[in-house]
Structure 1
């Protein structure tokens, strides 16, 4: 039985989270917000949202530990609460809520698959972030021996919670901005089909990014090193994957 929820990791996005939550309320699903040790201003906004809306459930991390830790905590919590699927969406308004019905529809059609956004960016995307994404795309193709992964970095996706929690329990998944790519590649390795939906992504003017250029690029580089060597002994399995996993055209 499919039982859906939303999952929002947040760190200091006090100025955008209320708008994001109110956009999601009409869908009627629980909204689990993983507060990654945010400041007092953000905690106050979250407390008001939880008080105002019964759908909102706040998980609070004692200190800022990274997006990956917040997401793993929320995914495990959601599964323990009996949810089968969790749609991850950012707190800062980058993701197009109008596409949410398409994500839920695809997840219902393919309940065992990871449903992810394939981003369509406008001119607001910083050049440095664009270059970084292209480098990651290159390495993911090597790590999966496949062109199936259209984008591994967009945090707008529906997780099948059972298989996702199996991966979290089995591996030390990236704790910060390396999380999204790390868990997608490992799900792919374990025969979870990855399906994509084209979706517009913007970088709002004046928006706040928690991406730390030096730290997170270093963590992403180390992640790709781990995934590359993890891929080597999986080569026979990856080469036969197309015969074992069904993809949607």
Structure 2
């Protein structure tokens, strides 16, 4: 980026069966003065009508894809639209209200200070988190550390992030990668492989009592297993570069050796 004036962030929200949660979420995003792109991922007629109504708000835009193609595909569609509108960065946040909107300025401040970095939340859970999801995250954390030969990515599954759009779309457009629940982890690993710094910021995450999960245990877990298989083989091909990068960072003064 040539100057701070080129830093133009927006918010991208993939939506499937969560339109009824959006009004208060959009109220709070609107108070931050941020444009917002909603992506209707094949919702039914009632959901689509509600999203079209929400898109009449100032600074709220709607993209639609039919039939349902998955969370990752919806996020990527939002990124493409945002980039075409001249935005440089996109805040990804889930539609169900589990993420803390008040932390968006913190993530954006870190992104603005280092525009070429991926800024990602590290979930700080309360008692509402389902235990099986919590345990499953540790399995994915282990494989991500293997796939990157690094502990830099402290959480690869959080859906609350700030993406630099140019680099992210360069990866998306030239890589066959996950388009459903496997995408959150795969994109952060591939951005790390591309050489992007990863900045992690703790943020509270709460699962709403009346929340709807779109995670399909059998199908999505199979997709995630296949994703990790692909990434492990990808790591083997890139291991000389990854090891060389790690050694180079260790030699630089002031760089943490924990990475």
TM-score w.r.t. the length of structure 2 is 0.92
Q: Does 1:178 align with 2:182?
A: yes
2:9 to 4, 9, 15: 4
Q: Does 1:95 align with 2:99?
A: yes
Q: Which residue of 2 aligns with 1:215?
A: 219
Gaps of 5+ in 1: none
In the TM superposition, residue 120 of structure 1 has moved relative to its aligned partner by 0.5
- 1:10-49 matches, within 5 Å, as 10-49=15-54
- 1:119-134 matches, within 5 Å, as 119-134=123-138
Which stretch has the larger CA shift, 133-142 or 38-47? 38-47
- 1:20-169 matches, within 5 Å, as 20-51=25-56, 53-169=57-173
2:228 to 224, 228, 239: 224
Q: How many correspondences in the alignment?
A: 248
1:238 to 226, 242, 249: 242
Task: Work out the CA distance in 2 between the residues paired with 1:108 and 1:40.
Answer: 39
In the TM superposition, residue 54 of structure 1 has moved relative to its aligned partner by 2.0
TM-score w.r.t. the length of structure 1 is 0.96
Task: Work out the CA distance in 1 between the residues paired with 2:100 and 2:169.
Answer: 26
- After superposition, the C-alpha distances for 1:112-170 in whole angstroms (9 at most, x for unaligned) are 00000011011111111112111100100000000011000011000000000100011
Distance 1:134 1:202, change over 3 A: same
Gaps of 5+ in 2: 1-5
Which stretch has the larger CA shift, 237-246 or 95-104? 237-246
What's the secondary structure of 1:59's corresponding residue? strand
Aligned 8 A contact 2:249 2:255 in 1: no
Task: Work out the CA distance in 2 between the residues paired with 1:127 and 1:198.
Answer: 19
Which stretch has the larger CA shift, 189-198 or 14-23? 14-23
